[in-house]
Chains A and B, each alone.
Chain A
């Protein structure tokens, strides 16, 4: 195979007030015709900058300092050095979008909301092939069919905000492919999507690559994605290539220490007894004398669950007002539909599901940040059952100390105008605990507990990295020594190596402080690492609840099966079954087969099939044979 793209010793720098910062320093790799190369790295590694440099769409303050980007157009066999070409020149513009095109991470913002999908796709045709009118429309509908839009003719006329995330990404792919490029650059194309949608999009890119004979340059941070789509892999770190090679070699015989460490930090699915992830930098929690481990008081039935949720429901009303107030319709969406589960003292129960499945709504109702429509939440407070769901705001206050919440976004959850000391001592101020001296000492202990330097107490959150901020958030949660901690996607905004660090910290703290976790996540690998039991939710319904080994070994519910089938394993010898993923319709409850289907009159309930394994179904007799 011939090299389609050759990047040689590329240097890209950013001009900032503090001087020039090199984001890419001497990167070289190649993309062969028709192959798929993955560039892997953590945030800030310069992988996206490489893609922008190839496209000639670097930010205004960035420029290529040296090196060459040789692109050999397979149609004309002319070799152009893109690095030397003026990015505004006619020549570059014919290559950009015509011969090389790109899709981005954010399908929500990548398309203009003011123009129809068809308009934006045909624009590329008009620019590169001089097509317009009906001919362009026909080509556009062809390509929309190719990317498997359910109704391409209608899609032509829709606006991007009328489409779901997965469909927007398909529209984006259609736009990139409509001129038949020789190279498609996919910059984190599936990161913002749900796991089942991600698998479909990856499968689509793979299929189209074969069908159209184009090469793909995949930029990603996800080793699972790499293992499933790439032929060759380039690992970058701090703007330099650490290692590159064929995908099998990269996973089997990682040579560079960074790559070895990165692979060790990726959550897997098979663990030996007591095996831990190995982050690039391990944190050891140091507990002082003030923050005690929670000993179970004498005479308390330890087997009683700490939290019981019974038949919890919540629906939201969406008032859609047509133009002119006519056709006003009130849409009721059941965000949470009769969900019941309990959390045992000292365990980690994970709730998994895709966006919009109601997992966060459940957690907010437990926190009483939102009132449930029906159902009850019972908290076992030192042996006495308390109905949190009936409590007024005032009565709730003492329980706020016992249930705490870790947020997903480490940037938005800390007040940028408070120092770390203020942030960590605020829980004591709110609950009027201790005097200044006591607070200072506890805060110091908290910093040690999450492995942060106590000398940084006077700093503001912006001077910390994402992982450090998340640890500040965890320290704030632990300040009041809660019993139950709700973690809402605590690691999904973090890089793999930092993710492993925070997961290990959470694991250690659970043991040290005797905590109980309700862990909300969309990432099956993370959940597999940290959880004891897993509850799977789909469209507001709890469909399956089982100890994690059972769930992974013998999933029962069709949705759980579809979900597990869609998870890309970071292991080339365990590829995704793209065929099965493409055909799955199980994310829609209307397609669930009997006995899992949704019937109005007698809605299904969770049925015990042994070993603590519950599945949502109507009838036992059928299931027994399956299990």
Chain B
């Protein structure tokens, strides 16, 4: 078991290094760099650009060095907690990102939690009451959730909140807390605002998860070992929980890995619409202005989330399913 974890962690590290290289290359791919964009901007405003200043800036930011050197400087910096310098904000990336990273993580974590907590009981109910009115109704709502674009749902909620309650539910906190240090009041305010984006971002994920869980559980309920359990004299509820539900959990857990990046990338538009102070909109603008270290840090953040999600799901799977854990000595 431990060797398995160790190996997985090593592979994770390697994967992240490869991803960092890819991220760097992709960011560098478009012609020019941040400075060319900057010059264009200045020219458009009719200002004269001093070539000496440009050369100075270029060497200052290390943009005149070969790409590999730039990459390694960035990589080594990241390992030391230095994520580079944002050109656009003229600040270190860590300072620019600041709270946003935390708020993003809180939002994403809450969303994943919401998806699981909603979909699990509904999926189980749907499967055990197949073709009942309850199942049909929940299935219908689920399909609605699956088919509605997140940002549209966000707009609708914003509109009705305004019409009914006369308040704006955008943002993640009351305006007075923005850029303020964390206090109890701020935390409460965040929690009060959190549920709206969580519902908006989580709906489609929940709907998809319900469908998957229902299908998995329906398959499992047909299996012979369920009949064996029933023939043993087990009550229906205990039987359901101990055998088929545990089997149906596998795909549920395997989804953790893919759910995280899905939630993060899916929330960009919603964040823009609801003006959430998360990483999504900032990533977008950083990519547009070729603010490479800022964009790179965001992309790495996403990669780390995905890889960790995969790791967590693999570990949970190995713990839950002896067939995966004992893979190898299997005789047929």
In this complex, how many residues of chain B approach chain A with their Cβ under 8 Å: the count is 35
Contact B225 A109 (CB under 8 A): yes
On chain A, the residues within 8 Å of B229 by CB distance are 112
B325 within 8 A of A: yes
Specify the chain B residue showing the minimal Cβ separation from A101.
Answer: B231
On chain B, the residues within 8 Å of A102 by CB distance are 231
Query: Given A114-B320, A324-B4 in contact, is the A162-B330 Cβ separation under 8 Å?
Result: yes
Contact B326 A162 (CB under 8 A): yes
Specify the chain A residue showing the minimal Cβ separation from B230.
Answer: A57
B323 within 8 A of A: yes
A159 within 8 A of B: yes
Smallest distance from the beta carbon of B126 to chain A beta carbons, Å?
Answer: 15
Contact A323 B322 (CB under 8 A): no
Rounded to whole angstroms, the CA-CA distance of A320 and B327 in the bound complex is: 8
**Which of B141-149, B171-179, B233-241, B262-270 lies at the interface?**
B233-241
Contact B328 A127 (CB under 8 A): no
Smallest distance from the beta carbon of B293 to chain A beta carbons, Å?
Answer: 36
Contact B3 A97 (CB under 8 A): no
Contact A97 B232 (CB under 8 A): yes
8 sampled A-B residue pairs with Cβ under 8 A: A57-B230, A96-B232, A104-B224, A112-B243, A114-B243, A114-B247, A323-B328, A325-B3
Specify the chain B residue showing the minimal Cβ separation from A102.
Answer: B231
In this complex, how many residues of chain A approach chain B with their Cβ under 8 Å: the count is 39
Specify the chain A residue showing the minimal Cβ separation from B325.
Answer: A323
On chain B, the residues within 8 Å of A420 by CB distance are none
Contact A161 B224 (CB under 8 A): no
A94 within 8 A of B: yes
Contact of A127 among B1, B234, B318 (CB under 8 A): B234
B228 within 8 A of A: yes
Rounded to whole angstroms, the CA-CA distance of A159 and B321 in the bound complex is: 11
Query: Given A159-B322, A164-B331 in contact, is the A323-B1 Cβ separation under 8 Å?
Result: yes
**Contact digits for A315-335, partner B, Cβ 8 Å, 1 yes 0 no:** 000001111111100000000
Contact A320 B328 (CB under 8 A): yes
Contact A162 B233 (CB under 8 A): no
B227 within 8 A of A: yes
Contact of A111 among B3, B7, B228 (CB under 8 A): B228
Rounded to whole angstroms, the CA-CA distance of A112 and B243 in the bound complex is: 7
Specify the chain B residue showing the minimal Cβ separation from A326.
Answer: B3
A98 within 8 A of B: yes
**Contact digits for B289-332, partner A, Cβ 8 Å, 1 yes 0 no:** 00000000000000000000000000000101111011111110
Smallest distance from the beta carbon of B218 to chain A beta carbons, Å?
Answer: 12
Smallest distance from the beta carbon of A531 to chain B beta carbons, Å?
Answer: 29
Interface centre among B230, B232, B325, B328 (most CB of A within 10 A): B232
A88 within 8 A of B: yes
Contacts of A100-121 to chain B: CB distance below 8 A: 101-102, 104, 106, 109-116
Contact A320 B329 (CB under 8 A): yes
A506 within 8 A of B: no
B48 within 8 A of A: no
Contact B234 A123 (CB under 8 A): yes
Contact of B232 among A88, A101, A109, A323 (CB under 8 A): A101
Rounded to whole angstroms, the CA-CA distance of A326 and B6 in the bound complex is: 11
Query: Given A320-B328, A323-B3 in contact, is the A88-B236 Cβ separation under 8 Å?
Result: yes
Contacts of A67-125 to chain B: CB distance below 8 A: 88, 93-98, 101-102, 104, 106, 109-116, 123-124
Rounded to whole angstroms, the CA-CA distance of A93 and B246 in the bound complex is: 22
On chain A, the residues within 8 Å of B230 by CB distance are 57, 96
**Contact digits for A255-274, partner B, Cβ 8 Å, 1 yes 0 no:** 00000000000000000000
B65 within 8 A of A: no
Contact A324 B7 (CB under 8 A): yes
Smallest distance from the beta carbon of B266 to chain A beta carbons, Å?
Answer: 33
Contact B328 A321 (CB under 8 A): yes
Query: Given A101-B232, A127-B233, A326-B3 in contact, is the A159-B326 Cβ separation under 8 Å?
Result: yes
Specify the chain A residue showing the minimal Cβ separation from B247.
Answer: A114
Rounded to whole angstroms, the CA-CA distance of A418 and B224 in the bound complex is: 32
Rounded to whole angstroms, the CA-CA distance of A123 and B330 in the bound complex is: 25
